Structure 1
Amino acid sequence: MAPMGIRLSPLGVAVFCLLGLGVIYHLYAGVISSRINSFRQQKNVDLRDLLALSIEAAVEGGREVKKIREDNTLEERSKGKTKEGVSEKLTLGDLNSHRKMFYLFKNTYPFLQVNSEEHDEVKENPAVWSREIPEDVLQKVKVREVAADRITVWIDPLDATQEYTENLKKYVTTMVCVAVDGEPVIGVIHKPFTGYTAWALVGDGANVAPRSEYSISAPKVIVSRSHAGKVKGIIEEAFGNNTVIIPAGGAGYKVLALLDPPDEDYEEADIYVHVTFIKKWDICAGNAILKALGGHMTTLKGVEIDYSGSERNDGGLLASVKVDHKTLVERLSSVEKEKH
């Protein structure tokens, strides 16, 4: 009698194949995963390219902001309340700018961590970086590569939304910041309604500069419009009753007020103080610019701000350039000690 063979039905063949694939997957999944992670970790990005992309993103986002405001199609609504109970505005200008800026980065460097103030239902956008590098960037900045997994990008698609809804255009900016290992390295602040753009790359150069003189004996202190009354007493105790307090909107505007003014829309300030919590996309770009110019942006206690991880900075804010930042911290700290 001839030996009997084993015959499998089509269903049995399919099950056998699936079991085999399962075994192979378990054997090699870990290897494949580690190789993919290794490949991702080996990706490098040129900071000069990132600066050029950051400038283009801020400008393109600014065009969206300007168009919505000029067309008066804001579609204004509230996205909730701040910790202090103030309604946070959201407009079509915020969203259109976010889409343009966010996807310029994601379509160019899909592996980068990009944090934006806004989020929406749109899953993609055809925005593509032109790959053009501005002439002043080419002249001042050298090629410098950094591993992609060390980079965090912070985007503020529309800074000073409250003022934007009130048509106070001078306070409005779009901002991009690139942090490496949590430290701000690239900062771009763009004014949509004048076309002015300030940029800096720490260690390489900037297109903006500090003023020639500052005062801390009787300083001009720029603060948030929405917190001007609350911060007034603290500032006067720290710096004296002759201190001039300048209420203003937008963190980007406040940082530029510390520098050589780009246009007539700016008020000159010596120090920028913020006493409540603030989001990192509001301050990272300004921090990078000040750092590139030898200035400082810290918490009120003088602690450097880490731009990795949480989006919140809970320690308040103190920003300065070309003055003794440590003395400013000590004066503010002495007020806090007296209160406790």
Structure 2
Amino acid sequence: MVTNQQREWLDFAKSVAREAGDIMQEYFGKKPDSHFKANNTIVTVADEEINDLVIKRVTERYPDHDIDGEEASARRGSDYVWVCDPIDGTVPFAMELPVSVFSLALVIDGQPEVGVIYAPFSDHLYWAVRGQGAFMNGKQVYVNKRGFGRMTKMNVDWWPSAQWDVMRVIHELAYEKGAYVTTLGSTTHAAALVARGEFAASVFAGTKGKNVDIAAAKVIVEEAGGKVTDLFGREQRYDQDICGAVLSNGIVHEEIVEAMREL
């Protein structure tokens, strides 16, 4: 049973997600101002406005909690950390491709307790509370139970700091198994599609990555019956940078991480 405190956290996260989605809709298709960050990734004024919104809302509601955002953070030394990616899929967002999502998770002692992913262009709101299942627009969702085969779909996303070896291994594994690989352009959205049974797996390539992309996805995929680890099958904390991620239905997971271990 969801506790009153968990319900409060979840309702808060869903409310912020809706506000963030409104901002994404407002800027979409209008070529918002953008620039490149030091790590060669793009950021738009919409990313920054949503990140600022999250900091404002969390500070108003939970002034003792930390905020870890993609574009800005507010650290107070708390074990309660709201981890936010204001727009996961900034490149497709700037290109007017409607696949980007907002994500927000409450991470406690390094592990996500509550996670929300909102895809405003399809109005799909995904959420999960640890131990209580995963949902999309109020309907419980589950990972699929397919192993590798001709109908298996996987996602792997590339970004400037990703390692080519990881990309190569995933594509070689998919070719060997007869699986279909796509690059959606939003790791978090792909993870939501793992949770609802569309993809068998999604791989967040590279041994150095931001926790903001995976924190909400971890609890949602796991509560849908899936499995989430780093690239090599290990558990990791989500209040700090991560060693990539494999998010799967659990059935194909070991074959993916075994291939990674051979790097």
Give the shorter-chain TM-score range.
Answer: 0.7 to 0.9
Which residue of structure 2 aligns with residue 59 of structure 1?
18
Partner Cα distance (1:118, 1:212) in 2: 34
RMSD: 2.5
Using structure 1 for the length normalisation, give the TM-score: 0.67
- How far, CA to CA, are the matches of 2:224 and 2:203 in structure 1? 18
User: Contact conserved, 2:128 with 2:219, CA < 8 A, in 1?
Assistant: yes
CA displacement, residues 36-81 of structure 1 (integer Å, 9 cap, x when unaligned): xxxxxxxxx92221111111111101111210124x1511122223
Q: Does 1:186 align with 2:121?
A: no
Gaps of at least 5 residues in structure 2 are none
Match of 1:328, SS? helix
Query: After the TM superposition, which parts of structure 1 deviate over 6 Å for at least 4 consecutive aligned residues?
Result: none
Instruction: Name the counterpart of 1:216.
Output: 148
Structure 1 match to 2:217? 286
CA contact (8 A) 1:252 1:282 kept: yes
Percent identity among equivalent residues?
A: 22
Q: Compute the displacement of 1:116 (Å).
A: 1.0
Count how many residue pairs are aligned between Structure 1 and Structure 2: 249
Q: Which residue in 2 is equivalent to 1:129? A: none
Point out where structure 1 has 5 or more consecutive residues left out of the alignment.
1-44, 82-86, 124-147, 262-267
- The answer to whether structure 1 residue 117 and structure 2 residue 45 are counterparts is no
Higher helix content, 1 or 2: 1
Q: 1:195 aligns with which of 113, 123, 138?
A: 123
Alpha-carbon shift at residue 326 of structure 1 (Å): 3.4
Output aligned runs, 1:48-127, within 5 Å: 48-70=7-29, 72=30, 74-81=32-39, 87-119=40-72
Higher gyration radius (CA):
1
Cα deviation code 1:119-146 (max 9, x no counterpart): 39xx9xxxxxxxxxxxxxxxxxxxxxxx
**Where does residue 243 of structure 1 map in the other structure?**
179
2:233 — aligned with what?
A: 302
Closer/same/farther in 2, CA of residues 232 and 100 from structure 1, 3 Å limit: closer
Deviations 1:196-220 (A, max 9, x none): 1000001123314124442224542
Whether contact under 8 Å (2:184, 2:190) holds in the other structure is yes
TM-score by length of 2: 0.85
Matched, 1:164 2:96: no
Residues 162 and 239 of structure 1: CA distance in aligned 2, closer, same or farther (over 3 Å): closer
- 1: distance between equivalents of 2:167 and 2:43? 28
Residues 325 and 284 (structure 1 numbering): CA distance in 2 closer, same or farther, change over 3 Å? Answer: same
